[in-house]
A and B are shown apart, each in its own frame.
Chain A
Amino acid sequence: DTGVSQDPRHKITKRGQNVTFRCDPISEHNRLYWYRQTLGQGPEFLTYFQNEAQLEKSRLLSDRFSAERPKGSFSTLEIQRTEQGDSAMYLCASSSPRITTDTQYFGPGTRLTVL
C-alpha cells in the first residue's frame, strides 16, 4: 500500500487549454473524492465516487469540469477551456466505509497554474 498518488504534481497551462489530472486511490478503497484548495482556504468538495458511480457533485463543478472513474479504480478530473480562476491545488482522497470508517486519505495534490 503506497497511499493515494496523483499525477502530475504540477501543471502549468495557458488559458483556454484543456488539462487532465489522474488519481490512483489506495487499492482497497471504494470511495474516491476530488477537492480544490486555494491559498488560505480549506479544501472545497468537488465530487465523490463510490466504485464507478459518481454519487455527488458540487455546484462548484461547472460544465467545464468532468470527472470519471471508469473501472472503479483510478479517476481522472478534466478541466476544459481553463481560466485563471481555476489555478489551485487539486486534491484527491480515498476511503472505505468498511476499512477506514470513511476516514479519507489524501494524495499530495496537483498544483495547477493557469497563465
Chain B
Amino acid sequence: AQSVAQPEDQVNVAEGNPLTVKCTYSVSGNPYLFWYVQYPNRGLQFLLKYITGDNLVKGSYGFEAEFNKSQTSFHLKKPSALVSDSALYFCAVLRAGKSTFGDGTTLTVKP
C-alpha cells in the first residue's frame, strides 16, 4: 500500500520569507511525486512533479521541490512567499495508475 504524509496541517509565514511545506511518502518501487494547490471552491491545480533525474524540480509560480530518496521526502519550497500563495497544498504519489494524496497543508502568508 502506498501512503503520503503531510505532517503540518498549517504553515504560517511572513511575506518575503522562504517557505517549506513538508511531504513524506511510502511506496514500493519508483514513484511519480506531485504537488497540487487548491484555492477555495476551485479544483486542484498542478504545480510540479518529480519523475526521474535532477532531485530539485522547478514548477509553476516560483515553487520548487526537492526529492530525497533516502528520507522518502518531497518537500515543497519557495524562496520568497507572496500573500497570493495562501492556499491549500497537496502532495501526491502516483504508482501503477493509482494516486494517493496527503491530507493537505494550509499555507497562510501574512503581509
Residues of chain A whose beta carbon lies under 8 Å from any beta carbon of chain B? 4, 31, 33, 35, 40-45, 48, 50, 55-56, 91, 93, 101-109
Contact = CB atoms under 8 A, between A and B. Distances in A.
A102 B46 contact: no
Contact of A101 (B4, B51, B92): B51
Contacts, number: 54
Given A103-B34, A103-B49, A48 B98 contact: yes
B44 A43 contact: yes
Query: Which range holds the interface residue count of chain B?
Result: 20 to 34
A55 B103 contact: no
A61 B97 CA distance: 16
Contacts of B63: none
B34 A42 contact: no
Contacts of A43: 44, 90, 99, 101
